[in-house]
Each structure stands twice: as C-alpha cells, then as structure tokens.
Chains A and B, each alone.
Chain A
Amino acid sequence: MATLSLKDVRKSYGSVQVLHGIDIELEDGGFLVLLGPSGCGKSTLLNIIAGLDETSSGDIVIGGRSVSNLPPKDRNIAMVFQSYALYPTMSVERNIGFGLEMRGTSVDRRREAVARAADMLQVTHLLDRKPANLSGGQRQRVAMGRAIVRDPDLFLFDEPLSNLDAKLRVEMRTEIKRLHERLGTSIVYVTHDQIEAMTLATKVAVMKGGYIQQLADPRTIYERPANMFVAGFIGSPAMNFLRGRLGRGKSGWQFMAKDICLNLGRSKEKLEEQEVILGVRPEEFKVVHHDIAAAFHGKIDVVEPTGPDTMLTSLIGGQSVIARVGPRFAGRYGDDVSFTVDPTSVNLFDPQTKLRITW
C-alpha cells in the first residue's frame, strides 16, 4: 500500500509528444481511473507507471520512493492486462505464482500465497488447468490472482474488462470494487468506459490528447465538469449543450435563447453578459404541464422508452435536447412539451474557451 505521485511526466516518440506534463497525486488506498478516448495517452501513462515504457522527463514516486529509473520488477507493482496475458504453457497455479517464483519465494510460501489468492478469487478448482481451458471470466480472475498474490504497493489495470461480455463485465466490476475494499491497495485503472470510472474510482483523471482535462472525484467530474469535453464525455446520453445568452433578469442572472428562459438566480461571482453554452444533464429535465412555470418550450421529436426511463428527444427553438423522463411518459411525436430544470444543477460554458464558467 502506498501513495503514487506523478510529477510533470512527459513522453514523446520522436517529435510526437504523447504526454504533456502529467501531474497526479493519489492517496494511499486510492483508486485512480485514467479515463479517455483511445489515443488519449492513458495506456502510455500506465505503461510508464509500470516501467514498461520510459518517461522522457518527469518523476514517478511510489510510496515515497522514486521509481523512474527502476525496471518494472523492482517497482513492486502488479499489473492486469486487457488480454489477461496468462502464460499459455503454464498451469493456473504457476501463472499466479510466477511473480513469486521469479522473486525466489520458497515453494511452500508460494503455494500458500497462491492458495489464498485463488480462494479470494474463487479459482481454487481451476489451479491445475491451462489458460486455454478457461472461460474469459475465469481468465480474468486468474490474471487478477496473479496480481494480488504478490501483495504489491500498487495495482495497475489496463482495460481489464473490455474483453468480457456485458453481463460478466458488471460482475467483474463489482468483484474489483470488492477486492479494492478488502485489500485497500492503491489502484491505477485505465478504461474508456465511463461507468467503470464512475463506479470504481475515488479519483478520475479524464485525459485527451496527452493532457489531463480534469482530475477530481467522480461526483465532481459528473456534476461540475471542467470543460465541455469532460462534460460531453461523461454521461450517457451525453449532456445537452444549448446555445444562448447570459443576461441580467429581475431576480438575478438568466439564460436566454429561443423558447428558453431559465432563471439562474444570483451569483457570488463576477459575471458578464455574454454568449454562453448551457449544459444540462438529460435527467435534470422535468416535464411540466403548466406552461407558465416552465423554462423550456418545445415539440417532441422522438420518444424512446428503455424500460426504467424514457428518452425524449425534443426540439426547443431549433436545438435538439434529450431528456430522461419517467417510464410512463405519454407524449407523442409533434406534441408540445415544456420542461423545468433545477438551476443549481446546470453548468455554463464559455463558447470560445469551452471552459466551465464558475458562477
């Protein structure tokens, strides 16, 4: 168990810079998720933490010890790969114990440690098998067993669930969370799946183009995204972006656009009247039947019931908006519809800088 700090980590391949000064602090026992679209540099960063790739500059400190110049085996980390990377010719038992074997742990202690790890992951009955004879989920468990058996300072997970089918993915996600709670070891976890990020992380680093867009706890990331990229990347369906104008009204600031007039209330911040983009999560829209109270007026375009919710696409003043409404919503194409929104739940973005406007 240890803290992890990355200090101004940079990486370039030739003239192409893929990481631009990454700074991350992870508390002991924390769960850091590196989240971003493919090519954002998250896997490179993970490889750099593992020591499988070298930094161009910057420092990596695990548990107070700078490991930048150490080979992977001396960093006391364990890694779980997307492809599981189980040694095909070895039994499950030897696979799990291989790291210990390489470190010269005695056979008895090794067997004991493997048994404990296998028990924790419920793969004891598989110990004699070869990886080829395991299902995807079983392989995933073995790969995790191989990581936990060594009791490392830090676990590194490289998209560990993306090769599993949807049902198993949910199951293993829970398993990983349980494991983290039981072992309390710090984890760095790479994924492009925002649900995994939201459910597992204590801290999420949203990355794009080799930069960290936002580093915060999942709730902040979701509710107060630092910029439009983060806002749009997290959440499904994505946050609605509505163009309009920020202006002064009778009872404080107002967001105004065609068929929209949203009272935002007073703000402690110094704001100016300007063009803005209003960001509203689909679930924040409430359908109202009294026109007067509503802030948004539009026509229904598409109604998509999903079971627990209904996704409602409406056209409001020419802008398309998706709202997540109750399952029993009864409207149809072409009907008029009105919404209200809790003004504290919305975000404002600067159309030029794409950054969130604090208010």
Chain B
Amino acid sequence: MRRVSMTSNSRRHPFSSLGEISETRYWVYLLLLPSLLLLFLVVAYPTIYGFVISVREMRLTRPGLNGWVGMKHYISMMSDRVFWISLKNTAIWVAAAVMIEMTLGFIAAVALNRNLPGTRLFGVLILLPYFLPNVVAGHMWALLLDPRLGVINDILVRLGFLSSYKAWFADPNTALAATILVEAWHGFPFFALLFLAGLKGIPEDLYKAAAVDGAGSFTKFKLITVPMLKTVITAAVILRVISLVNSPDLLLVLTGGGPGNSTQVLSLYAFQTAYRDFNFGYAGALSVVMFFILMVFATIYIRLSRITKE
C-alpha cells in the first residue's frame, strides 16, 4: 500500500486512484458490480418484462389494442377451459414423469454404484438418452411408436399384448401416458447421474455400522441412503420439475398438445398462445402463473424436506 501511494506521488499514474481503491474493502463490491449488472440484465429484466406484459394487451396482429389491461388476462384465464385442462395435464405429466424417472434413476444409480465389471460402459450407455436433445428424442420415439412402422408396436403385437398396431398418440386415453413414458426414458439419466454422485458420497462405514447394529437392507435404505441423499433428491426433483414444467418441446414434437388438448400443458399452451395467436399478453400471464406455481412448489417442497430432516 505504501508503495502504491509513493508511485502516485512521484508520477501521478492514471490508475493510481484505482490502485488505492483496490486496497479498501469497497473493492470487493466494485469487482462484483459487472457480474451483478449482467445478472440483472439477463435474469431480472426479462422476468420483470414478463410480469409487465402479463398486465398489458400485447397482440402482435392487433397493435391497435395494445395497452394496460390490468388483471384482465388472469380473470379470463379462470374461465379458460384449455387453461384448466393444461393445468391438470401439467400436474399429471410432471408428477408421473418425475416419479418414474426418480425410480428408474435410483435403480440405475444403485446398479452403477456396485462397481461391477462393465459398469463403466453401462454407465455411459445409461446416460445416452439424456444426451439426446428433446426434439431428437421426440422424433425418435414418434417413429418407434409409429402406428405404421413402429418397432414397439411390432414387438407388442408379436408378443401378443396387442392384436394390431396401436396409434398411441392418437388416443386421448393413451396419449398422455405414452408421452410420459417417452419423457421418463429421456429424463431418468438425470436422476441416475445425480443419485450416483450422491451415493458415492455416502461413507461405506455407515452401512458397515448399520450391518453391525443389525439393520436390514430396507432399514439401511430408509435410515441411511434416503436421508444422505435427501439434499440431492430435493435438488434433483426441483430442477427436474422446473425443467418439465417449462419445456414444451417434447410434447410439441410428439402430439402438439393433442388429440383434443389431451396432452396440452401450460408451457405448450403459453408457447402456442404467443407464437400462433401472437397474443403475448395472455401468454405472459400464463407464464406468470407457471412462475408462481413453480415458486410455491419449490418453497413448499424445500420446507417439507427440511422439516423431515430436523
């Protein structure tokens, strides 16, 4: 510090005052400023903008109508049939997909954690679905389940489960279930990966201690594995739920929300409202509702998992 001030005295270096600030505790904030600014621009601004357009009329094809409309979109949402269907479908789609993915992911993680010969190769194979972009996975499954050429239909018919090829996505009774299975296939490696990391972090000694104490496999699972993975599970579920609620791409590829809205979810509805109706205001309101649903979900979920931990 002394040396800095000496230099500034003798030569009045242009950066000397900066050098002096760098010795104070404000320097930290100054260094953080650019990233905070960036964060604000990238995160806060779009979010706020989303809120703003949700209380405005913003229909690209009717520029004349633009203006403040307050809660109008939210009120009309209450009587919007498709909104309620989408809400219900979103809940089913997310809950079912997360549960199946978590179960499959856990089984995969436990299997991979055994360090048996070949697990390394198997580990890569198991992750493959997750590497596929949603759109690619969607088209692939659309083909696998295709009512004319689909391999899966062929297998099921040969095994005698089906009498003829079934159009899985054309029947409102099977469309949502079929899309959930595709999503589960695509998403379970996410859980497998996180669970595997979590499992690796559980000290072997705990299981040994439990074995000496006389705990069986189920007790070990319940009292060691699950609690030790709790943070991982919480984080994984929240991340997955957020991404499932927010990404319409798989459904867009597989069914486009059909048949007859039977696979319509909020994200897809908002997407279609924005980019087919060009009704950005209403789409914004839908997104805000999704935002709050996710916020409430995350808060409750985190609180619940903490309560049970204490």
* Interface segment out of the listed B37-45, B152-160, B178-186, B222-230: B222-230
Contact indicator B211/A81 (Cβ below 8 Å) = no
Contact indicator B228/A50 (Cβ below 8 Å) = no
Chain A contact residues, majority secondary structure: loop
* Interface segment out of the listed A70-78, A285-293, A345-353: A70-78
CB of B171, distance to nearest CB on chain A (Å): 46
Return the CB mask of A45-72 against B: 1 if under 8 Å, else 0.
Answer: 0010011100000000000000000011
Return the CB mask of A288-330 against B: 1 if under 8 Å, else 0.
Answer: 0000000000000000000000000000000000000000000
* Interface segment out of the listed B119-127, B212-220, B275-283: B212-220
Contact indicator B208/A79 (Cβ below 8 Å) = yes
A89-B309, A102-B219 given as contacts; is B211 within 8 A of A73 (CB)? Answer: yes
Q: Given the complex, which residues of A lie within 8 Å of B208, measured CB to CB?
A: 47, 50, 52, 72, 79, 81, 85
C-alpha gap A272/B212 in the complex (Å) = 54
Chain B contact residues, majority secondary structure: helix
Residue of A nearest to B209 (CB): A85
Residue of A nearest to B308 (CB): A89
Q: Given the complex, which residues of A lie within 8 Å of B309, measured CB to CB?
A: 89
Contact indicator B215/A102 (Cβ below 8 Å) = yes
Residue A39 CB within 8 A of the other chain: no
Q: Given the complex, which residues of A lie within 8 Å of B212, measured CB to CB?
A: 50-52, 72-73, 77-79, 99
A81-B205, A82-B205, A83-B205 given as contacts; is B211 within 8 A of A89 (CB)? Answer: no
C-alpha gap A51/B211 in the complex (Å) = 9
C-alpha gap A77/B223 in the complex (Å) = 21
Q: Given the complex, which residues of B lie within 8 Å of A52, measured CB to CB?
A: 208, 211-212
Chain B positions 179-221 with a Cβ under 8 Å from a chain A Cβ: 203, 205-206, 208-215, 219
Residue A184 CB within 8 A of the other chain: no
Residue A355 CB within 8 A of the other chain: no
Contact indicator B206/A102 (Cβ below 8 Å) = no
Residue A179 CB within 8 A of the other chain: no
Contact indicator B213/A102 (Cβ below 8 Å) = yes
C-alpha gap A50/B208 in the complex (Å) = 9
C-alpha gap A86/B223 in the complex (Å) = 11
Residue of B nearest to A150 (CB): B213
CB of B117, distance to nearest CB on chain A (Å): 11
Contact indicator B213/A98 (Cβ below 8 Å) = yes
Residue A250 CB within 8 A of the other chain: no
CB of B309, distance to nearest CB on chain A (Å): 7
Q: Given the complex, which residues of B lie within 8 Å of A182, measured CB to CB?
A: none
Q: Given the complex, which residues of B lie within 8 Å of A47, measured CB to CB?
A: 208
C-alpha gap A29/B89 in the complex (Å) = 68
Q: Given the complex, which residues of B lie within 8 Å of A89, measured CB to CB?
A: 223, 227, 309
Residue of A nearest to B213 (CB): A99
Contact indicator B203/A99 (Cβ below 8 Å) = no
Residue A270 CB within 8 A of the other chain: no
Q: Given the complex, which residues of A lie within 8 Å of B211, measured CB to CB?
A: 51-52, 71-73
CB of A56, distance to nearest CB on chain B (Å): 19
C-alpha gap A73/B211 in the complex (Å) = 6
A52-B212, A71-B211, A99-B212 given as contacts; is B206 within 8 A of A85 (CB)? Answer: yes
CB of A90, distance to nearest CB on chain B (Å): 7
C-alpha gap A73/B205 in the complex (Å) = 15
Residue A237 CB within 8 A of the other chain: no
Chain A positions 98-123 with a Cβ under 8 Å from a chain B Cβ: 98-99, 102-103
Residue of A nearest to B208 (CB): A52
C-alpha gap A77/B211 in the complex (Å) = 11
C-alpha gap A12/B197 in the complex (Å) = 29
C-alpha gap A87/B227 in the complex (Å) = 9
Contact indicator A87/B219 (Cβ below 8 Å) = no
C-alpha gap A85/B208 in the complex (Å) = 8
C-alpha gap A98/B203 in the complex (Å) = 18
Residue of A nearest to B310 (CB): A130
C-alpha gap A78/B215 in the complex (Å) = 13
Residue of B nearest to A79 (CB): B212
C-alpha gap A98/B208 in the complex (Å) = 13
25 contacts between A and B (CB under 8 A): A51-B211, A52-B208, A72-B208, A72-B212, A72-B214, A73-B212, A79-B212, A81-B205, A82-B205, A83-B205, A84-B205, A85-B205, A85-B209, A87-B209, A87-B210, A87-B223, A88-B228, A89-B223, A89-B227, A98-B215, A99-B213, A102-B214, A102-B219, A146-B209, A146-B213
10 nearest A-B residue pairs (beta carbon) = A73-B214, A85-B205, A102-B214, A85-B209, A89-B227, A99-B213, A81-B205, A72-B211, A72-B212, A83-B205
Please give the residue numbers on chain B whose beta carbons come within 8 Å of chain A beta carbons, in ascending order: 203, 205-206, 208-215, 219, 223-224, 227-228, 309
Question: Contacts A77-B212, A81-B208, A87-B223 given; 15 further ones with Cβ under 8 A?
Answer: A47-B208, A50-B208, A52-B208, A72-B208, A72-B211, A72-B214, A73-B211, A79-B212, A81-B205, A83-B205, A85-B206, A87-B210, A89-B309, A99-B213, A102-B214
